[in-house]
């Protein structure tokens, strides 16, 4: 007859067998001995992952995490530098300035300005384009001010509302 103690022992053995089976399978996956302990399996797993990441960023498979981080940062910095038209070896501050100049220059060119203009000058070009576009809709001449454009817009809106009510 099965006792409470024997049932408990049986389940404890089942638990140990499951843990041993899982540990053995995990050990195989990471290339450790099937009888390795969890600490060894963890270290082997970390080594395997680190090696794959190292290869992925162009480092040696036995590189440490710090070296991998430096290589990753160097690659990323080079890529961003390319976007900014900066030298691949440039520092982040130089890349940031190059990126800002490139964006400002391209924005200025799109609104009719010069690439070396300041953000204030670029903003003035944008404001001028908007004023001309809204003024054209309102029936204003290009030289008219925002106030004059506003009065013409108000007149057009009033006419549209009156026409709508009369329909």
| 33 domain-assigned | no
| 18 domain-assigned | no
- Provide the number of structural domains found in the chain: 1
| 141 domain-assigned | yes
- In order along its 167 residues, the chain shows pLDDT tens digits of 678 888 899 999 999 999 999 999 999 999 999 899 999 999 999 999 999 999 999 899 899 999 999 999 999 999 999 999 999 999 999 999 999 999 999 999 999 999 899 999 999 999 999 999 999 999 999 999 999 999 999 999 999 999 898 87
Residue found under tokens 């067998």: 17
Domain that holds residue 162: 118-167
| 52 domain-assigned | no
């Amino acid at each position: 007859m099965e006792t409470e103690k024997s049932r408990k022992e049986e389940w404890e053995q089942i638990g140990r067998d499951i843990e041993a089976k899982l540990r053995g399978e995990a050990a195989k996956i990471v290339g450790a001995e099937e009888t390795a302990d969890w600490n060894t399996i963890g270290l082997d797993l970390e080594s395997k992952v680190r090696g794959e990441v190292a290869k992925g960023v162009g480092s040696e498979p036995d590189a440490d995490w710090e070296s991998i981080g430096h290589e990753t940062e160097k690659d990323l910095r080079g890529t961003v530098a390319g976007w900014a038209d900066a030298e691949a070896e440039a520092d982040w501050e130089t890349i940031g300035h190059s990126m800002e100049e490139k964006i400002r220059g391209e924005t200025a060119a799109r609104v009719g300005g010069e690439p070396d203009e300041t953000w204030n000058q670029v903003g003035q070009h944008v404001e001028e384009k908007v004023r001309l576009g809204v003024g054209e809709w309102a029936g204003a001449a290009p030289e008219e001010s925002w106030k004059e454009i506003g009065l013409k817009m108000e007149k057009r809106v009033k006419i549209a509302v009156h026409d709508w009510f009369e329909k």
